[in-house]
Homo-oligomer: A and B are copies of this chain.
Amino acid sequence: MKTARNTIAKTKIQELIILSPIALSHSEIHKYLEGLCDRVTIYRVLDRLLEEGVIHKIVDVDGVIKYAGCHSCSTEHSHNHIHFSCQKCMSVTCLENVEPSFKLPKNYKVSEMNFTLSGLCPQCS
């Protein structure tokens, strides 16, 4: 079997994302790490953290992919919540408690959803 290893890069990246109040992009993580590891390593660590279910991926309104820690998915791993992207401070926040409702036409089978609102966050409005 394949046994995961706790490397410095992985530990630091995980810590960074989990402790951050907002979702982070690859380039933001790269900046924060200040050369601790290679660009490519970050991509690979992010893939591993996603697989392990430690973090989840968010597609921002402009298509930029951001990563946020999983807080409320200890039992089951679902992220059917809304994300809010602030146009002023550029932060992306998980609104864990907000679940949208909608009525889909027949014969559509949903497996994932990505719902991002943009506008002004409480700090900026």
Contact = CB atoms under 8 A, between A and B. Distances in A.
Interface of A: 59-65, 82, 84, 87, 95, 98-122, 125
A107 B122 contact: yes
15 contacts: A59-B62, A63-B63, A63-B65, A82-B104, A84-B104, A95-B105, A98-B103, A101-B101, A108-B117, A108-B125, A110-B118, A111-B118, A113-B117, A113-B118, A114-B116
B119 A116 contact: no
Q: How many copies does the complex hold?
A: 2
B117 A116 contact: no
Given A84-B108, A98-B103, A104-B117, 11 more contacts: A59-B60, A63-B65, A87-B111, A106-B122, A108-B120, A108-B122, A109-B119, A113-B116, A114-B116, A114-B117, A115-B116
Nearest to A115: B115
A118 B114 CA distance: 8
